[in-house]
Structure 1
Amino acid sequence: MFQASSDPREDRATLFVLLLPLAFALLGTLIRFLAFRYQLPDIPFTNYFQSLCRWDCGWYVRMAETGYDPFPVPNRTNAGNWAFFPFYPMLVGVITKLVPLPTIVTASLVSIATAYAAVIAAWPLLGRSRKAYILYAAFMLSGPVSIYFTTFFTEVMFVLLTTLVFRFLGRSNYLGAAAATALLSATRIVGVFASLSIGVQALMDYRRNRGTWRGVIGGLLGQPRLVLAIFIAPLGLFAYMAFLHYWIGDGLAFSHVQRAWGRQIANPILYLWQGLNAWPDDERWLTPSQILALAATAGIVLTGILAWRRQWPAAVFALLCIFIPLSAGLASMLRFMSGMAPLTITAMTILGRNRIIFMLSLAALLAGAWFATLAWLGGNVALV
């Protein structure tokens, strides 16, 4: 990713890119640990990683240790872990076999390393702006939602792979983008939509190179690398479907099992409207539903900015990654929006333009990590 240079300025820039996220990784760990000791003073400090493992994290730990549930599920009446895609827990499971540490400790360390790599990979996508890079590193490693990227959730791998997809597409490397998309589609179901981003990028490249749309179908089909990329991109999803068909006889079990969590497909705009109007009846400023709805609204606004900037591959991907989950309700929308690299990268480039806004944003990110960790440990359902 980086090469040695005879220019001292380039060497200093390389050190900045490599060392800054490491500093934020250490700072974020310290903030979250202090919040843990404050919130749970009677819990041994050795239980730090275990205490932060809440909600879906427990499912991923069990997957890494024992794999997928059979059917029917032992000791469970209505839920199996087929809703959770395999790539990241499988990777952690393999590493756990090689490292003599508890699964959650290994997973947390792998997540921090993955978040570190994701920040470094995002450097060119942030326009090589130092202020934007500082904010993005703080957001990922020591911000309010950094807990998603530093314990055992798939969001951190989703961010890294999404970043790699758009890094490859920025160089019109369709095969590289397809390989990252194949892994992305085995990480979360919406990852498969990056396949469409490859197609959109190919259309844009054709129009730019030829100056016309004439002959576009033949021109695209005449590119063997592009055709191969389109076939490779969804392979992660197809492989998981084939496994589920073999394992429990239902290749769409990841969708069918959603009924166990009470999710119903409906109009996403209706879900959004209901969430925004779920006003608190106590002293709280916002209800969890409003927080989730505001997160989705922010994602839609940032997607509009991507479209306004004519970043169509990222805009198409983000739009689908918002409205497909939203059609099943507001649950986890804050987590989903936090893990959308095109959106968070766009936000940091905007906040990094003005020096005062940059400084205020950085302070808010670091302070927010403390309060968000307390809320996480306290069971705030908006963070689920």
Structure 2
Amino acid sequence: MNPLSLIDIRLTRKDWLNLIFAVIVSRIVIYALGLWGVSMFMTGHYAEQPLLQTVCRFDCVWFYRIINNGYDLIPQWLGQKNAANWAFMPLQPFLGWIFSHLTTFENPINNYRFGLAFASNLAFLFSIPMVLMVLKQLKISAATRSTMVWILCFSPYTVYSSAGYTEPLFIALVAGVFLFSYRQQWFWVAILGMLAAITRNLGVFLVFPVLIIAIQHYGIQSFFRFKTPALKVLAAIWVIPIGFFGFMTYMYFHVGDALAFGHIQIAWGRQLTNPFHWLMFGFETGGPKLYLTIMALLAFALNIYLVVRKYYAEALFMFICLILPLSSSLNAMPRYAFGLYPTFLGLALLVERYPSIKTPMLCIFSAASTFIAIGFFGHQFFTV
């Protein structure tokens, strides 16, 4: 067994105190400044909505519709009535439904909104120790790990971890898959990978980094000879997509299209094409599209840095999770990037190598996170 798998990854008391303090401070700041900004700078309908409606925006609305009515039989939403909730995987709505039982609002929709926000905050709380254990497994220094707690808590799009979205859950599950792959604990790789694939459909591509890490552990010959460790890996790889295939089967019998979650993306203007087309479109259009283009390019630059540092499995998964959305639109590219464990691994490696950047990075991230929180709670589409 690779000695790397024997590293003690337990968090110290100091780690937990730093983590808990950072989470509490960041949640207070994001909610307080975000909601204050709405009351100060926004006008009209969106500035006057109740608290839970202000917090539960955009994708969160689709999730509570799934909780309330299940998956649509036909498209019926958006201006042209051509959108359906098929694009959204079932795990987050399921968790939101569970936690909705913690409240008894007169309007059941508010119970669902609360449940979804609670689920995302809880997932965020789990994601940070998971990422810290991964960094400890990879022998990242304690100083860098401490910095990464604050970078995670104040990442530019951290508002999504407070608003019923899947990002924190996906980070936690994907980080867990990589952690247990490093430690050769394939049962947990299978379970967490399966859950990741029904959190976001891109989770199904975890089969590729898992295989790469396994080959790094055991060598490719062990797979051709069907040795026991290799068979455990293959079993995990088969389990990861089971939930995803189950969702496809449900979609087939429910609406007659197993790939409905992909085909319905056209309602949001998403249709697969050359990703370079969208990059050129961003530069030519300018404004918010230029911002999205620059953020996408920065994400790919970080992706290349992972390759340079020889984190091939992480880089491959990050590339897949960036290139597929970019092939259909520039929209939400920054959110997709900051919803990935490899992104934070890349940032940790940068901070480890260049410690002087941590203070400027934290300042920039903190300012951006509050600005985007105000925009998100104010229903500004550039934040989506």
Does 1:223 pair with 2:230? yes
Which ranges of structure 2 fall in alignment gaps of 5 or more residues?
Answer: 1-7
CA contact (8 A) 1:272 1:293 kept: yes
1:348 to 1:41, Cα distance in 2 relative to 1, 3 A: farther
Deviation at 1:223, TM superposition (A): 3.3
Q: 2:251 aligns with which of 200, 225, 244?
A: 244
CA contact (8 A) 1:28 1:369 kept: yes
CA contact (8 A) 1:112 1:141 kept: no
Provide the rounded CA distance (Å) in 1 between the counterparts of 2:316 and 2:153: 27
Q: 2:130 aligns with which of 121, 125, 128?
A: 121
Q: 2:88 corresponds to which residue?
A: 84
Provide the rounded CA distance (Å) in 2 between the counterparts of 1:70 and 1:31: 40
Q: Which amino acid aligns with 1:251?
A: A
Q: 1:197 corresponds to which residue?
A: 209
CA contact (8 A) 2:283 2:289 kept: yes
Provide the rounded CA distance (Å) in 2 between the counterparts of 1:113 and 1:45: 27
The alignment partner of 2:164 has SS state of coil
Q: Which amino acid aligns with 1:239?
A: G
CA contact (8 A) 1:139 1:146 kept: no
Does 1:66 pair with 2:69? yes
Provide the rounded CA distance (Å) in 1 between the counterparts of 2:379 and 2:328: 22
Give me the identity figure in percent.
25
CA contact (8 A) 1:295 1:334 kept: yes
Q: Which amino acid aligns with 1:29?
A: Y
Does 1:105 pair with 2:114? yes
Measured against aligned partners, the alpha-carbon deviations of 1:89-142 in whole angstroms (never above 9, x if no partner) come to 111112213533522223212211211210111113334545544543334434
Provide the rounded CA distance (Å) in 2 between the counterparts of 1:154 and 1:322: 16
1:324 to 1:245, Cα distance in 2 relative to 1, 3 A: same
Does 1:174 pair with 2:186? yes
Measured against aligned partners, the alpha-carbon deviations of 1:72-96 in whole angstroms (never above 9, x if no partner) come to 6499732211011111111111221
Provide the rounded CA distance (Å) in 1 between the counterparts of 2:115 and 2:188: 28
- 1:264-303 matches, within 5 Å, as 264-279=271-286, 287-303=287-303
Deviation at 1:46, TM superposition (A): 8.7
Q: 2:52 corresponds to which residue?
A: 49
Tell which deviates more after alignment, 368-377 or 250-259. Answer: 368-377
CA contact (8 A) 1:70 1:247 kept: yes
1:68 to 1:354, Cα distance in 2 relative to 1, 3 A: same
Report the RMSD for the aligned CA atoms in angstroms: 2.8
Q: Which amino acid aligns with 1:123?
A: L
Does 1:351 pair with 2:355? no
Provide the rounded CA distance (Å) in 1 between the counterparts of 2:98 and 2:15: 35
1:14 to 1:331, Cα distance in 2 relative to 1, 3 A: closer
TM-score by length of 2: 0.86
Tell which deviates more after alignment, 48-57 or 143-152. Answer: 48-57
CA contact (8 A) 1:18 1:120 kept: no
1:289 to 1:248, Cα distance in 2 relative to 1, 3 A: same
Q: 1:183 corresponds to which residue?
A: 195
CA contact (8 A) 1:337 1:343 kept: yes
The alignment partner of 2:328 has SS state of coil
Provide the rounded CA distance (Å) in 2 between the counterparts of 1:145 and 1:203: 34
Provide the rounded CA distance (Å) in 1 between the counterparts of 2:32 and 2:142: 23
Q: 2:315 corresponds to which residue?
A: 315
Q: Which amino acid aligns with 1:21?
A: V
Q: 1:232 corresponds to which residue?
A: 239
1:199 to 1:251, Cα distance in 2 relative to 1, 3 A: same
Deviation at 1:274, TM superposition (A): 2.2
CA contact (8 A) 1:85 1:187 kept: yes
Provide the rounded CA distance (Å) in 2 between the counterparts of 1:203 and 1:324: 25
1:96 to 1:363, Cα distance in 2 relative to 1, 3 A: same
Does 1:25 pair with 2:27? yes
Provide the rounded CA distance (Å) in 2 between the counterparts of 1:106 and 1:361: 32
The alignment partner of 2:206 has SS state of helix
Provide the rounded CA distance (Å) in 2 between the counterparts of 1:144 and 1:72: 33
Q: Which amino acid aligns with 1:138?
A: W
Provide the rounded CA distance (Å) in 1 between the counterparts of 2:181 and 2:325: 25
The alignment partner of 1:107 has SS state of helix
Deviation at 1:168, TM superposition (A): 0.9
Which ranges of structure 1 fall in alignment gaps of 5 or more residues?
Answer: 5-9, 208-212, 280-286
Deviation at 1:184, TM superposition (A): 0.9
Q: Report how many aligned residue pairs link the two structures.
A: 367
Provide the rounded CA distance (Å) in 2 between the counterparts of 1:38 and 1:175: 50
Q: Which amino acid aligns with 1:223?
A: A
Provide the rounded CA distance (Å) in 2 between the counterparts of 1:360 and 1:353: 15
TM-score by length of 1: 0.86
CA contact (8 A) 1:29 1:142 kept: no
The alignment partner of 2:83 has SS state of coil
The alignment partner of 1:172 has SS state of coil
CA contact (8 A) 1:126 1:349 kept: no
Provide the rounded CA distance (Å) in 2 between the counterparts of 1:74 and 1:147: 25
Does 1:376 pair with 2:376? yes
Q: Which amino acid aligns with 1:310?
A: K
Deviation at 1:33, TM superposition (A): 3.2
